[in-house]
């Protein structure tokens, strides 16, 4: 899938859509890519003259890629992080790098998913984690927004 097809499943939009392409293989492993262009909002000020992709953004990239593992459940729902465990950032990511994500569902409890994810640049691990997220009905999000007004 490319960006336009990904938008059919994920609620994220620019500038926070952080998946360029994704494939799910026959073993239900996600293979996603995102190329850091250098003009992303999260690089402004992190760090001036030496831009480095923040670790939390690497987690977001892995999360978005891996949410597509359960794309059949995403219709009418939005994924929200519920946890990040065993998070590591053994290498930095810079403008021009292509981040390659792999991930698989380790466990599911209702609409809660636990994902083992890894991000690499040129074969070197830059992040890995056990991510968890819940799928929330969009109708509930609309109700919250209306109540806040």
Token look-up 């831009």 returns 51
Phi/psi at 98 (nearest 5 deg)? -105, 120
Distance (Å, rounded) from C-alpha 18 to C-alpha 112? Answer: 22
Mapped onto helix, strand or coil, the DSSP state of residue 55 is: helix
Angstrom distance (rounded) from CA 147 to CA 141: 10
Question: Which among 80, 77, 75, 88 has a CA at the least distance from the CA of 116?
Answer: 88
Query: DSSP characters for 63-109?
Result: HHHHHGGGHHHHTTEEEEEEEEEEEE--S---TT-EEEEEEEEEEEE
Q: Which residues are catalytic?
A: 46
Q: C-alpha angle with apex 54: 48 to 56, nearest 5 degrees?
A: 155
């Amino acid at each position: 899938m490319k960006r336009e097809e990904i938008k059919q499943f994920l609620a994220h939009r620019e500038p926070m859509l952080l998946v360029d392409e994704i494939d799910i293989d026959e073993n239900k492993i996600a293979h996603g890519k995102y190329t850091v262009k250098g003009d992303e909002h999260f690089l402004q000020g992190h760090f001036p003259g030496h831009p480095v992709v923040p670790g939390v953004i690497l987690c977001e990239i892995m999360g978005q890629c891996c949410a597509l593992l359960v794309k059949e459940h995403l219709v009418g729902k939005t994924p929200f992080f519920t946890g990040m465990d065993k998070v590591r950032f053994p290498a930095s990511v810079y403008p021009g790098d292509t981040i390659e994500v792999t991930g698989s569902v380790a466990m599911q409890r209702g609409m809660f998913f636990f994902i083992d994810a890894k991000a690499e640049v040129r074969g070197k691990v830059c992040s890995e984690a056990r991510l968890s997220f819940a799928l929330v009905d969009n109708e509930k999000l609309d109700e919250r927004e209306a109540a806040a007004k």
